[in-house]
Structure 1
Amino acid sequence: MIQIFSNSLGKEELKAVEKVFESKWVGAADVTLEFEEQFGESIKSKYSLSFNCATAILYGSMKILNIKPGDEVLIPTVNFIGCANAIIDAGAKPVFCDVDLNTFNITPEEIERKMTKKTTALLLLHYGGNPVAFDEIKEVSGDIKIIEDSCNTLFSKYKDRYCGTLGDIGCFSFDAMKILVTGDGGMMTFQDEEYYEKTLQYRYLGLVSKIKSGVDSLQEEKKTWWEIELGCKSGRFISNDIISAIALEQLKKVDGFISRRKKIWDTYKSELKDLDWLVLPPEPYENCTSSYFMFWLRIKNGQRNEFARYMVDNEIYVTFRYYPLHQINEYKEFSLPLKNAEEICDTTINIPIHQNLSDKDVNYIVDTIKNFRRNK
């Protein structure tokens, strides 16, 4: 079976982890600090802090931005469930928004329609790797906070800025299905020092950022270095040097991963453009770049499910990301009809695109797609 997601972990990552083991300290220390610094430099983010997973970042963003009960947070319905869960956990109301039929991204017009006096934030997704129309979105959003779910858009650029640095908080994921893979983990990015200081406390039990352990206190020459000082009450969401060691090696390879993905994207667009029974994804906006995280097809004539089964029967795994949140029963109290998202849900399928696909794999996928309608 040709998988829809894959990773490229190898001897370099194993060697890096071995060094961490030899150090006799596997928690968050110098290697983690180095990864945070290098990642921030790579996307020109003033502040970058690693987390144990991206979902923890989503939950944390609600705390950092002081989202509270009674607030409304706009969110595109074609999205990851962790985003809605984070909003609800904060006591706020997720306001599900429709998306553009081609980009699957939230639009400025939809934001204008859904904003109320209770709207305090927008949690947007850059779908599949293609940035949203951020300038227009920022213009209509006014003073509300903007959280960027950039888990699809590693190194994607909106004009001259990287996704994840456009809004108030950016969220990146390094789980097993992403481009940069560490098994799990994530990075929160922001440009505001106040958010940085609040996050340092939030992600590590509420401990004041300058004193995190007895060793730190001892270095401060305190007589009782075991005392604890809290700035707030929180959980523990830090990363560690094992994950960060893997991440530093992956960071060296990411440009190559994305370059290969772009080549496959271009092949799909070229080879499938004349098939009148499907709709291909759009290119990024002018002066923008994509990470090419996902490639999607919209199948006409009500044949999406038949096509999906046909692909799997031919040993090509396909799926649909992301099932509209407003159609999930657990969120029914927030549900309302969203025409474009519902059409997307009924017609769309994602096909494999990753750096481990060989030219032979890509040609087989293309030929299999072309053969779907030849005998009908």
Structure 2
Amino acid sequence: MINLFQPEISEDSSKLLHDVFKSKWLGRGLYVDKFEDQFALSLKVNRSNIHTIASCSDAIFGVFNIFNFKEGSEVLVPSISFPAIASAILAAKLKPRIVDIDIETGNISLDQLDKFLSKKTVALFVTHYGGIPVDIKKIRDIVGPNVMILEDAACAFGTYNDGVACGTEGDFGCWSFDSMKLLTCGEGGGFYFKNKELLIKAKEFFYLGLPAQAKSGIDRQATESRWWEYQLNSPGRRSVFTNINAAIGLPQFENLNNTLARRSEIRNFYSNVLDKLNVNYLRQDDKNVSYANYFFTLIDRRRDELASYLKEQGVYTTFRYYPLHAIKIFSNFSEECKSANLFSETALNIPIHQALNDKEINKIGSLLENFFAT
């Protein structure tokens, strides 16, 4: 089976993992520091604005503890979103307002925002669908300076809009390093806060509420007689990105440009095939954007039939994400979402990961030609 997602882990990761095991410290440490240095460099942001934790979902749930919005406040979110976002909004005792999408991008419809804005609106949580960037500057113009802009960039690591990395234009951004992502660490996540004081608050929240600059017991035992005593700045939980995660991911930074170039090459191949067949797909033709190409999304009314045909021929495809407004526990927070309905009935994500070889890409191309020729 040709996978939709597939990690590409080098021998260098195995060597670093061996070094981590020899060090006898598997938790957060030196390798995590190196990973965060490289991550900040890739995002073109200050190192003090980012932090890594156990998962992107943790960041999504935790961000509402950091902003501490008033109970009952409203957060706007596109219907085509990762379900954890709506769940996190409800868990924080806030009200999600589900907004329709722009069917040309899969992203939130900017034309719909005015209709949903109210005095209760405190934040907007956008998703950069498959690495296609939302126009954050336009959103800021629409929502004003007081509404927080939160960015789900889990699938957009490697996308830059006018040289700015997705996830770093708003007030908060988050990324995933799970086994399906462009940069994989097996598991893990990272987040960005524009406000560095909020970043410190988040670091403390995700490590039990301990002061961000607190020394470990091992460090304190050299100078303190009761090094096991401590105080907390606030209630918190524990979400840790480890040296093991970092060792898997670190070597991938060196190959990032090649990874992005390979995905772009595959996209161009699919685009040429589908253009000849007159089949629609999500366009990525903004000259000011460098795209991550996390998804390649074709659009066709025979989507279900195509997915079954490809599966029978050994190619796995899917559609992400099932609309929030169609999920029963969220449906009361939505008005009609015509574009999201149409998108969810016609869109299909096909393999575009960098581990695909030419034989596999040509096979997919031939299958698409055979299907649409009938």
Matched, 1:223 2:192: no
Aligned length, in residue pairs: 371
Task: Give the aligned partner of residue 284 of structure 2.
Answer: 283
Matched, 1:30 2:30: yes
Matches within 5 A, 1:44-193: 44-46=44-46, 47-142=49-144, 143-193=146-196
- Give the deviation of 1:212 after TM superposition: 4.8
Does the 8 Å contact 1:131/1:284 carry over to 2?
A: no
CA deviations 1:158-181 (Å, max 9, x no partner) are 113111110111101000111011
- Give the deviation of 1:315 after TM superposition: 1.0
Does the 8 Å contact 2:274/2:280 carry over to 1?
A: no
Task: Give the aligned partner of residue 194 of structure 1.
Answer: 197
- Which of 209, 213, 230 pairs up with 2:212? 209
- Find the aligned partners of 1:68 and 1:237 in 2 and give their Cα distance: 25
Query: What SS is found at the alignment partner of 1:188?
Result: strand
- Which residue type is aligned with residue 73 of structure 2? D
TM-score by length of 2: 0.96
Task: Give the aligned partner of residue 6 of structure 1.
Answer: 6
- Find the aligned partners of 1:201 and 1:216 in 2 and give their Cα distance: 18
CA deviations 1:104-158 (Å, max 9, x no partner) are 1113222222111111011111111111122111111212111111111112111
- Give the deviation of 1:71 after TM superposition: 1.0
Gaps of 5+ in 1: none
- Which residue type is aligned with residue 202 of structure 1? F
TM-score by length of 1: 0.95
Q: CA RMSD in A?
A: 1.3
Does the 8 Å contact 1:208/1:231 carry over to 2?
A: yes
- Find the aligned partners of 1:79 and 1:285 in 2 and give their Cα distance: 23
Query: What SS is found at the alignment partner of 1:122?
Result: strand
Query: What SS is found at the alignment partner of 1:123?
Result: strand
Task: Give the aligned partner of residue 362 of structure 1.
Answer: 361
Matched, 1:235 2:237: yes
Query: What SS is found at the alignment partner of 1:176?
Result: coil
Matched, 1:373 2:340: no
- Which residue type is aligned with residue 118 of structure 2? T
- Find the aligned partners of 2:285 and 2:100 in 1 and give their Cα distance: 19
CA deviations 1:285-313 (Å, max 9, x no partner) are 3311110000011113xx22111111111
Change beyond 3 A, Cα 1:216–1:120: farther
- Which residue type is aligned with residue 214 of structure 2? I
- Give the deviation of 1:88 after TM superposition: 1.0
- Give the deviation of 1:192 after TM superposition: 1.8
Change beyond 3 A, Cα 1:90–1:212: farther
Task: Give the aligned partner of residue 305 of structure 1.
Answer: 304
Query: What SS is found at the alignment partner of 1:340?
Result: helix
- Give the deviation of 1:254 after TM superposition: 2.0
- Which residue type is aligned with residue 367 of structure 2? T
- Find the aligned partners of 2:186 and 2:70 in 1 and give their Cα distance: 32
Matches within 5 A, 1:262-341: 262-276=264-278, 278-300=279-301, 303-341=302-340
- Find the aligned partners of 1:258 and 1:99 in 2 and give their Cα distance: 26
Q: Between the two proteins, what is the percent identity of the paired residues?
A: 35
Query: What SS is found at the alignment partner of 2:317?
Result: coil
Does the 8 Å contact 1:327/1:335 carry over to 2?
A: no
Query: What SS is found at the alignment partner of 2:69?
Result: coil
- Give the deviation of 1:357 after TM superposition: 1.0
Task: Give the aligned partner of residue 352 of structure 1.
Answer: 351
